[in-house]
Amino acid sequence: MLAGMKNIARRALNRTRTPDPRPAAKGWCSRDEVIMGTAVRVELWSDERAAGADAMAAVMAEMDRIDRLMSPYKPESELSRINSDAAAQAVPVSAELFDLIARSIDFSVLSEGAFDITFASAGHLYDYRRQVRPSDEELARARAAIGYRNLILDASMHTVRFARAGVRIDLGGFAKGHAVDRGAAILQRRGISHAIVSAGGDSRILGDRQGRPWTIGIRDPRQAGDVIAVLPLQDVALSTSGDYERYFEEGGVRFHHVLDPRTGKSPSGVRSVTVIAADGLTSEALTKTVFVLGVARGMALVESQPGVDAVVIDGEGALHYSRGLRDGRLPTWQ
């Protein structure tokens, strides 16, 4: 089966050629920026280049807006206000942020706590650039505040309150998935039907590449620049989380940005998770979930969800595919 997938990917790559980005009236357009602390890219086909440029600018503006709303690093953001005030009082929030927090609880229930935005109660104690991690005592105190049941939502008032002091939330587990979904929706409203919107490891794909698939590479977690698998895709969302994104090593242990909410520590049984789903919010949330659950439990969860598939690289570097991919039910151009 693996050889068959590689052959499909090889044929897709051979068929795909990067189009000329500078045709006179119509063609492929692209734009790159750094937003939300990651690389954001929009590539699309437009019959009118000016309209394509306007559409890409609108997507970037939306990304900026989401960053201002949900960044845990901007003290004026709505999310920062929740973290600052919600232990003392109910905090009114926008409908968009309220709905995202409510969706996060749905994923927490689905995953039995493997996905939990209150992981930030411990997560904020790590500084991967400076190679700082919490002591065992600090981590024990922080773990006591982790738990989605500490989030008290009032749907009638659109407020969020924390059940105890020390709780913090971070939407890094699926905010970029939400952002690429919003960006794709903007393009669809403008009549764009062939495009990709990416933010870091999260992508939302519209249509194909004018008769060719979009080909998305899954990088080798231990060899930067090398691709371990290629998926030809159309009309799906895809998210990848890897232990190589933000990390440091100490005493032979890799401390990376994906944390197990139950321990406040980085799981070691998985190096990379890629999830394919209908929307970016789902695909990104499930990458974090599978990372924490591990190969067996994570794949079982993926296979219980209609229209969802996954590729996992375990702690030994071995590739694992969900049943849909193993059986050749590829959500791709064939």
pLDDT band at 173, cuts 50/70/90? confident
Task: Count CB-CB contacts under 10 A for residue 250.
Answer: 9
What CATH number is associated with residue 125?
1.10.3980.10
pLDDT band at 1, cuts 50/70/90? very low
Q: Is the pLDDT of residue 296 over 90?
A: yes
Contacts of 313 (CB under 8 A, 6+ apart): 218, 221, 228, 270, 271, 272, 273, 319, 320
The domain boundary, picked from 169, 197, 214, lies at 169
Residues 250 and 308 in one domain: yes
Residues 235 and 314 in one domain: yes
Q: Is the pLDDT of residue 249 over 70?
A: yes
Pairing state of beta strands 151-154 and 214-219? unpaired
pLDDT digit string, tens, across residues 67-113: 999 999 999 999 999 999 999 999 999 999 999 999 999 999 999 99
Compute the mean pLDDT over every residue in the chain, rounded to the nearest whole number.
91
Residues 63 and 82 in one domain: no
Q: What is the Cα 221 distance to its own chain's centre?
A: 16
Looking at the 3D structure of the chain, how many domains does it have?
Answer: 2
Determine the pLDDT at residue 6.
44
Q: Is the pLDDT of residue 8 over 80?
A: no
Please state the rounded mean pLDDT for residues 138-153. 97
Residues 188 and 263 in one domain: yes
Determine the pLDDT at residue 334.
31
Which region among 7-11, 220-224, 226-230 has the lowest average model confidence (pLDDT)? 7-11
Q: Does 331 map to a domain?
A: no
pLDDT band at 23, cuts 50/70/90? very low
Contacts of 271 (CB under 8 A, 6+ apart): 221, 222, 242, 243, 244, 313, 314, 315, 317
Determine the pLDDT at residue 234.
94
Q: Is the pLDDT of residue 150 over 80?
A: yes
Residues 52 and 187 in one domain: yes
pLDDT digit string, tens, across residues 263-287: 999 999 999 999 999 999 999 999 9
Q: Is the pLDDT of residue 63 over 90?
A: yes
> pTM score, two decimals?
0.89
pLDDT digit string, tens, across residues 40-52: 999 999 999 999 9
pLDDT band at 324, cuts 50/70/90? confident
DSSP 160-216: EEESSTT----GGGTHHHHHHHHHHHHHHHTT--SEEEEETTEEEEES-SSSS-EEE
Please state the rounded mean pLDDT for residues 315-331. 83
Q: Is the pLDDT of residue 160 over 90?
A: yes
Residues 63 and 92 in one domain: no
Residues 204 and 298 in one domain: yes
Q: Does 145 map to a domain?
A: yes
Domain range enclosing 144: 78-169
Residues 181 and 254 in one domain: yes
Determine the pLDDT at residue 330.
52
Residues 259 and 203 in one domain: yes
DSSP 7-76: HHHHHHHHH--PPPS--SSSEEEEEEEEETTEEEEEEEEESSHHHHHHHHHHHHHHHHHHHHHH-SS-TT
Please state the rounded mean pLDDT for residues 48-65. 97
Residues 26 and 162 in one domain: no
Please state the rounded mean pLDDT for residues 217-233. 92
Q: Is the pLDDT of residue 38 over 70?
A: yes
Residues 161 and 183 in one domain: no
Q: Does 116 map to a domain?
A: yes
The domain boundary, picked from 108, 136, 169, lies at 169
